[in-house]
Amino acid sequence: MNLNKIDIENFISFNGTNFHIELTYEVFGLPIGKAPIVLVNHALTGNSTVTGKNGWWNPIIGKEKLIDTEKYSILSFNFPGNGYGGKLIENYKDLILKDIAKIFLIGLNKLKIESLFAIIGGSIGASLTWEMAVISPNISQNIIPVAGDWKSSDWIIANTMLQSQILNNSSNPVHDARIHSMLCYRSPESFSKKFNRSLNDDLKIFNVESWLLHHGNKLQKRFQLGSYKLMNHLLSTADITRDTGKEFTEIASKIKGNIYIVSVNSDLFFTDFQNRDTFYKLCKLKNNVFYKIIKSVHGHDAFLIEFDQLIDLLKEIFKDNKQATEA
């Protein structure tokens, strides 16, 4: 982990709270200023290490991969307070996702980055991608929200409320909240295909149970309670129309870049129905909005599983890009 840090003093949040923000980030591939820049927004328990050792998106980012480190500069900020090399934020409820978008845009400005080739993000990172594109409509040539949407739906809000109850009341909060969240990130069909009611003979429980316990223990070892509370709260606050008095289409239609909405047909969290609705509304007003779908039994987490499909869906954006080749 080779983290860089940007200090942002006197950041005023949406509700008027003053913050001193430590924005940490990593750069992969070519140096900033030497190639087109791809900004990668991480998911809820993710971080800025998108490739290399322990890189969570290694299958699509790297040498001769979809986002080629020999053609692009890849930049990834950490959500402030996510616990990955930066300080926790105790008054996290005074921040919303729109604030994080503004902080990332300030970070770009401090790095003297005026425009991006692409912003790509998964899950809450996709919602953040929408927020950034709306605040700064000219910021990126390509906007790629993957398995996410421009708003927190009622279903998302309900699940983040349950997560909050677990995080605040369980005697083993990170472990137990993770067990619940895994039920949101996968699908019933995925569980059936993976486990088929098989038993763990050593533990004398079903394999699906031992798998959930494993994921609870795994996250507990690497993720802090304060970070989980922050990220869960932010997940409930996505809404590019917040306090604007305007409809989604009026706001999103001002985005200048190409928009590639990537959905998962079995997603129970950010549902395919939501993403299709977003696409159908926006494509009536813009001719550079595209809809891509990952077909999988694995639910929301398919964007971290079905790499071959994701690469195939996005290859025309990143492959043989003239700007990247000539830089």
- Answer whether residue 322 shows pLDDT above 60: no
DSSP-assigned letters across all residues of 183-216: HHHS-HHHHHHHHTT-EETTTTEEHHHHHHHHHH
Cβ-Cβ contacts under 8 Å for 202 (sequence gap 6 or more): none
Instruction: Assess contact for 11 and 19: CB atoms under 8 A.
Output: yes
**Cβ atoms 28, 71 nearer than 8 A:** no
Place of tokens 């990172």: 125
- What three-state secondary structure class fits 59? coil
Angstrom CA distances, 18 to 9, 13, 92, 95, stand at 9, 6, 12, 10
The pLDDT > 70 percentage for the chain reads: 97
7, 30 in Cβ contact below 8 A?
A: no
DSSP 262: E
| Bridge partner residues of 71 (DSSP) | none
3-state class of 1 per DSSP? Answer: coil
User: Mind listing the pLDDT tens digit for each residue in 26-66?
Assistant: 999 999 999 999 999 999 999 999 999 999 999 999 999 99
Q: Does 253 have pLDDT greater than 70?
A: yes
Of the chain, the percentage scoring pLDDT greater than 90 comes to 96
Strand (E) or helix (H) holding 225: helix 225-235
293: helix, strand or coil: strand
Cβ atoms of residues 227 and 83 within 8 Å: yes
> Would the pLDDT of 223 be above 50?
yes
DSSP-assigned states of every residue in 33-46: TSS-EEEEE--TT-
In this predicted structure, what is the pLDDT of residue 327?
Answer: 40
Query: 287: which 2 tokens?
Result: 């001719």
82 and 223 Cβ atoms separated by less than 8 Å = no
The answer to whether the beta carbons of residues 149 and 274 sit under 8 Å apart is yes
C-alpha 280/C-alpha 301 separation (Å) is 24
Sign of the C-alpha dihedral, residues 316, 322, 325, 327? negative
The whole-angstrom separation of Cα 101 and Cα 132 is 5
Q: How many CB atoms lie within 10 A of CB 143?
A: 28
Domains along the chain with CATH numbers? 4-152+239-326 (3.40.50.1820), 155-233 (1.10.1740.110)
Total length of the chain:
327
Nearest to 186, CA basis, from 307, 293, 305? 305
**Of 103, 97, 129, 125, which Cα lies nearest the Cα of 116?**
129
Task: Report how far residue 272's alpha carbon sits from residue 302's, in angstroms, rounded to the nearest whole number.
Answer: 12
Q: What is the pLDDT of residue 167?
A: 98
CA distances to 65, 156, 158, 179, 220 from 173, rounded to whole Å, are 38, 19, 18, 10, 9
Tokens 């969240």, residue located? 181
Secondary structure element (H or E) that encloses residue 132, with its range: helix 124-135
Q: Say what the pLDDT of residue 319 is.
A: 85
Q: For the segment 275-316, what is each residue's pLDDT rounded down to a tens digit?
A: 999 999 999 999 999 999 999 999 999 999 999 999 999 999
Residue 259 · residue 141 · CB < 8 Å: no
The string of pLDDT tens digits covering residues 104-136 is: 999 999 999 999 999 999 999 999 999 999 999
pLDDT value of residue 127:
98
